[in-house]
Each structure stands twice: as structure tokens, then as C-alpha cells.
């Protein structure tokens, strides 16, 4: 996500979650959330297809029948 997309995402979720945050806090939070989502992205599996339970994360041998 771009910085602007993160900024919009943070404002949108904050509104939905009823979090009362000032503009300067939303700006600081956008920076922190961008970092956090970069951390989270390192953990996401990179499979082309869904994997059943017990399959090693990233196992590319699993494919639709």
C-alpha cells in the first residue's frame, strides 16, 4: 500500500472502530501501521492455491485437482 492508501485505511478503520483520534495522532499512527503491515506481510504465505491443514506454508506442490 502507498502512504496515502495507508493513511486512508487508518482513518477508515479508526472511524469504524469508534477510535477517537486527533489528526496528529492519525498521522503518527499511519507511520506506525505502515511499519506493522510491512512486518505482517513477511508472514503471509505465498501459495498460488489454497492449502489444506498440515501442509507446510509455501508448499507449491498443492494445486487444485
From the list 3, 8, 25, 59, which residue makes contact with another protein (rule: CB under 8 A)?
Answer: 25
Instruction: Determine the Cα–Cα distance for residues 45 and 63; give it in Å rounded to an integer.
Output: 15
Q: Is residue 53 near another protein by the rule CB under 8 A?
A: no
The 3-state secondary structure of 8-52 reads HHHHHHHHHCCCCCCHHHHHHHHHHHHHHHHHHHCCCCCCCCCCC
| The one among 3, 5, 15, 36 contacting another protein by CB under 8 A | 36
Q: Which residues form the interface with another protein (CB under 8 A)?
A: 9-10, 13-14, 17-21, 25, 28-29, 31-33, 35-37, 39-40, 42-45, 57
Amino acid at each position: 500500500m502507498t502512504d496515502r492508501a495507508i493513511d486512508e485505511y487508518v482513518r477508515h478503520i479508526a472511524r469504524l472502530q469508534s477510535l477517537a483520534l486527533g489528526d496528529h495522532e492519525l498521522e503518527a499512527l499511519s507511520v506506525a501501521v505502515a511499519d506493522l503491515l510491512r512486518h505482517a506481510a513477511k508472514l503471509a504465505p505465498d501459495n498460488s492455491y489454497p492449502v489444506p491443514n498440515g501442509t507446510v506454508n509455501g508448499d507449491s506442490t498443492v494445486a487444485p485437482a
